[in-house]
Amino acid sequence: MNPKPWRAKLGHRTLVLLATVYCLFPIYFMLVQSLKTPQEDVFGNPLIVMNPTLENFEELFERKGEVRGFVGDALRRSYPFLDWLANTLVVFAGSVMATLVASVAAAYALGRLRPPGFRWWRRAIFATYVIPQTILFIPLFQVVNALGLDDNLLALLLIYPSMALPFCVWMLSAYFQHLPREIEEAALIEGASRATAFFRIILPMSRPVLVAAGIFTLGTVASDFMIASVFLLSGQNQTVTAGLGTFDVALDELAGVAGVNLLAIPVVMISAVFARGYVRGLTAAMLEGA
């Protein structure tokens, strides 16, 4: 059908290659920097690494800064990086769980039980995205203080879900709303309760959409820099994001880039494993709604 198939194919290949390079280059660049020795960082080729080393990664885990090279002990900071990793794990996993539980509950109510005005409930929840976060952290600080969560990971566990919830509720409720009624009805006629029907039938069906909501939440939570830096002040309470934000550009550059990679690797792996489910879930949520 196509008059010049090979030219179309070549064009497609070229574009695919360009897109891939564009998307991966910054990530590749950060990876390469993190594997360099200080010497190579200064004198080497910026795009490749000749003698890859893991010393920048190791440095993150040394609690006491050692005297090394021309930088004296006084200037070397030690980082409680293990604490940061553990904190990050708690905050990320907790936020994703909390968001999923809250948004599934709300979405089931809006999509299946449909209280009067459920569309406006949903729109109102989604509309919270127009609230500018800019200086919201000033009053938010009052809330966090009133709850006694100052400099506490729980503060992030409270705030992060609110950033992903509106989208998740909207997506999940659109999906639940378009599941045909008969799906539950058969179970209800057999005498099962609504709860049983939900856990046995609806929840297993919605796995792709749950995956999509989870990945969206993870991406949103992992993209925050501001909240983590504002609310976590003492070193051992920080997440990796907040901790790396305190690094000094000139002194800690290589260790910092290593830290960036160290957080990115698990997040990227999880996202990669669920990437297909993410697309399928987004499709399923929009399919009949659109």
Partner 1 sequence: MTPVIARRTRRQRELRTAYLLLSPTVLLLLTVLAYPLGWEVWTSFTSLSPLQEGATTFVGLENYRRQLGDPQFWWAATVTVAYAAITSVAKLALGLGFALLLARPFRGRALVFLAIFLPWAYPAGVSVIGWYWTLNPPTHTAYAPFMGHVKSGVDSVFGGGAWAFVSVILFNIWRGSSFIAVLLLAGINAIPPELFECALLESKSAWRRFRLVTVPLLKPFLALGVFLSLTSAFADLANVWMLTAGRIVFPVIGTHAYWLAIKAGQYGPASALSLTLVPLLLGVLLLLFRLFDPPEPEAI
Q: Which of residues 211-250 bind partner 1 (CB under 8 A)?
A: 215, 219, 222-226, 228, 240-241, 244-245, 247, 249-250
Buried b (16+ CB within 10 A) or exposed e, 235-244: eebbbbbbbb
109 binds partner 1 (CB under 8 A): yes
Map the footprint of partner 1 across residues 188-207, applying CB under 8 A: 194
Among 10, 29, 58, 93, binds partner 1 (CB under 8 A): 29
Are 209 and 286 in contact by the 8 Å Cβ rule? The answer is no
Query: How crowded is residue 147: how many other Cβ atoms within 10 Å of its Cβ?
Result: 12
Q: What is the dihedral sign for C-alpha 201, 160, 216, 287?
A: positive
Among 5, 69, 115, 191, binds partner 1 (CB under 8 A): 115
Query: What size, in residues, is the chain?
Result: 290
DSSP string, 119-173: HHHHHHHHHGGGS--TTTHHHHHHHHHHTT-TT-HHHHHHHHHHHHHHHHHHHHH
Map the footprint of partner 1 across residues 71-90, applying CB under 8 A: none
Among 15, 89, 183, 186, binds partner 1 (CB under 8 A): 15
Residue number with CB closer to partner 1 (48 or 64): 48
Interface region with partner 1, contact rule CB under 8 A, candidates 51-59, 60-68, 71-79, 135-143? 135-143
Among 16, 67, 75, 186, binds partner 1 (CB under 8 A): 16
102 binds partner 1 (CB under 8 A): yes
SS3 71: strand
- Nearest CA to 168 out of 110, 94, 223, 92 is that of 110
Residue number with CB closer to partner 1 (64 or 138): 138
Map the footprint of partner 1 across residues 156-175, applying CB under 8 A: 158-159, 161-162, 165-167, 169-170, 174
176 binds partner 1 (CB under 8 A): no
Separation between Cα atoms, residue 161 and residue 122, nearest integer Å: 16
133 binds partner 1 (CB under 8 A): yes
271 binds partner 1 (CB under 8 A): yes
Provide, rounded to whole angstroms, the least separation between the CB of residue 243 and partner 1.
10
Buried b (16+ CB within 10 A) or exposed e, 34-64: bbbbbebeeeeeeeebeeeeeebbebbeeee
Provide, rounded to whole angstroms, the least separation between the CB of residue 78 and partner 1.
19
Residue number with CB closer to partner 1 (186 or 251): 251
